[in-house]
A and B are shown apart, each in its own frame.
Chain A
């Protein structure tokens, strides 16, 4: 009897410990800016899908948040890491709104519906959803034209490959990723019309070992440059080990594979966060669907590795200039699909709508899109 009571007490204790731990699992961290008590704090919250320590997607957002805190000392930020998409995120977003945050950035596609749902209940709070397409009176969306940066990295890859086979480790077959592969391939083929881009789908955003494996498979299949749409440095590590080249994503990955990384396609959210918070502060914010071009600085490429030749740098600089001045964009015809059929005729530019629903590969991609 005594034993049973004791064990019951212990189990209860453990369960409560567990609950406490689960509660703390979503680590909420509040940063206090050093500045001496400004009149009124603007409370801004960020919801991340991964840990800040992913060295990828969430890390890039957090760099943006740090930039915001740095530029606007009156801002007080709260972050919640590793929030699963779906019902959990709705609870987290509600909590943040409840705690008096005035602006909430939800930084993953799967937070779209939860963000809209919570926004209905908190009309005074401004919500910014990253990478989605639904808006409301107090919900805007924001994203960057990463494909422009990918095109430039494609030029570097196309000039650096000797085997004319470039590997691309891709996460999920969704329009965002397909668009990136297509833009990259356009870049490759603009300087090296015989090269092809081999694609492997990993079906995960975040698994360094698996991503590395996929890259190794591509290297065995003859690729000598590895590009990636993945959130960890796994693929470029494989390139480094094989003595081949790699192209990073999300942030400058040269630190993780110094001999391999030619450049990286990077996000730079900071300036946009500052702009948005300022707009809300000045009451000029609108519920736009922002898809920021490279000229806004939201996407870019990281500094080149030492192996990149002057000739290549010049080609990239020229293309970048065309994109920055908006004289030209990546998906300007003629663009053919894998079968050689012309999908975008000469002189036409693909509409945003078409780009956002990309479901076919351009000529030069060696791979298929799973149905």
Chain B
């Protein structure tokens, strides 16, 4: 077996496996950039997965499923927004409650949908001439539509964050909300927007599992991916490109383990599962060293904003 034959399917599988994590991580990234920690990603993903699946089965249209997943994910995040922005409740507690709530709710909603197939899942659409590019094509451009959308989304989020005025505001929102308030921007309103948008992306992450990756509904089918997404945002130092790399790294590690097994190379699964964390630590050391430790979390992350507090 030559190296291409090994690498291409491995990297293609990493992209697929990384996509649900990527969506959820991008959602969490913009949420945290706005200064709000949402630990409810796992719950949001599950609610997204079940709502998307239910809508897709009922209507026969996966795009409506996707829409339902976004709305449901956004709705669950709205609870978090209300609790943490309006009521200024503890963000960690609210997020954890949300995960438990989302797990229970999705299980309850999905009871009747267990074990039934979806007629039209998202299936692979090779992307014309792009899919023909040697090496790159089969890795990046022979997937389903949601994978392509995620590429675009990374670019959009990055461009928005670093090259537009509202993006600058978003970053400032998480650094110094009082300054934004002084500039006449509505901190509460903007934070609501970003938390809900983040939840909608988490919902897509869940729907990717139930409508594209393993098209079916099973309770708890996210199996901890929401938590990986939360961790990933920190490892990525709140940067969408690094989040993308990280998502594929986390996604790829199982794919690598499986392929090594097929080749008869025995490697401890515990060692393999440790690898992405090891990589991220190494990457972090380099990134932080290069930036002389300036890259830290958004300054106001996790703090409730109160206009009257000085």
| Interface check B96, CB cutoff 8 A | yes
Pairwise interchain contact A256-B216, C-beta atoms closer than 8 A: yes
Contact with B along A107-139 (1 / 0, CB 8 A): 000000000000000000000000000000000
Which B residues are in CB contact (< 8 Å) with A82?
220
- Closest Cβ of chain B: how far from A267's Cβ, in Å? 15
B89 and chain A: residue at smallest CB distance = A10
Q: Contacts A10-B88, A216-B13; is A200 near B218 (CB within 8 Å)?
A: no
Asked if residues B261 and A233 are in contact (CB atoms below 8 Å), the reply is no
> Are A237 and B216 within 8 A (Cβ)?
yes
Given A14-B90, A53-B110, A255-B115, A208:B104 Cβ within 8 A: no
CA distance A212 to B309 in the complex (A): 52
- Nearest B-chain residue to A221, judged by Cβ: B262
Select from chain B the residue with minimum beta-carbon distance to A367. Answer: B261
Q: Which 4 A-B pairs have the closest CB atoms?
A: A51-B219, A53-B219, A207-B223, A208-B214
Assess whether A232 is interfacial by the CB under 8 Å rule: yes
- B130 neighbours in A (Cβ, 8 Å): none
Which partner residue on chain A sits nearest B20 by CB separation? A209
Q: Which of A20-28, A143-151, A293-301, A322-330 contacts B (4 or more CB under 8 A)?
A: A20-28
Query: A76 an interface residue at 8 Å Cβ cutoff?
Result: no
Q: Which residues of A contact B254 (CB under 8 A)?
A: 202, 210, 213-214
Contact A370 B269 (CB under 8 A): yes
Is A220 on the interface with B (CB-CB < 8 A)? yes
Starting from the known contacts A18-B96, A201-B269, A213-B17, 18 additional A-B residue pairs (CB-CB under 8 Å) come to A3-B308, A7-B90, A7-B304, A14-B97, A15-B93, A51-B107, A55-B115, A200-B262, A201-B261, A202-B254, A207-B221, A217-B255, A217-B258, A220-B9, A232-B221, A234-B214, A256-B216, A366-B264
Q: Which chain B residues border A18 with CB–CB below 8 Å?
A: 93, 96-97, 100
Residues in chain B within 8 A of chain A (CB atoms): 9, 13, 16-17, 20, 83, 87-90, 93-94, 96-97, 100-101, 103-104, 107, 110-111, 114-117, 209, 213-216, 218-221, 223, 254-255, 258-259, 261-262, 264, 266, 268-269, 273, 304, 306, 308-309
Residues of A within 8 A of B104 (CB): 21, 24-25, 27
Question: Chain B residues near A220 (CB, 8 Å)?
Answer: 9
Interface of A (DSSP majority class): helix
- B261 to A: closest C-beta gap in Å: 5
Give residues of chain A (35-63) contacting chain B, Cβ–Cβ below 8 Å.
50-55, 59
- A217 and B107 alpha carbons, distance in the complex (Å): 30
Measured between beta carbons, the chain A residues less than 8 angstroms from B110 are: 53
With A15-B93, A204-B223 known to touch, is A53 a contact of B101 (CB < 8 Å)? Answer: no
Q: Which chain B residues border A213 with CB–CB below 8 Å?
A: 13, 16-17, 254-255, 258
- The answer for the CA separation of A63 and B100 in the assembled complex, in Å, is 26
Instruction: Specify which chain B residues have a CB less than 8 angstroms from the CB of A211 in the assembled complex.
Output: 214
Chain A to chain B contacts (Cβ below 8 Å), 18 pairs: A7-B90, A11-B89, A14-B94, A15-B93, A18-B96, A53-B114, A55-B114, A200-B261, A208-B216, A209-B20, A209-B209, A210-B254, A213-B17, A217-B13, A221-B262, A233-B216, A233-B218, A237-B216
Within 171-224 of A, Cβ neighbours of B (below 8 Å) are at 198-204, 206-214, 216-218, 220-221
Residues of B within 8 A of A27 (CB): 104, 107
Contacts A7-B89, A206-B223 hold; do A21 and B101 have CB atoms under 8 A apart?
A: yes
Docked Cα-Cα span, A18 to B93, in Å, equals 8
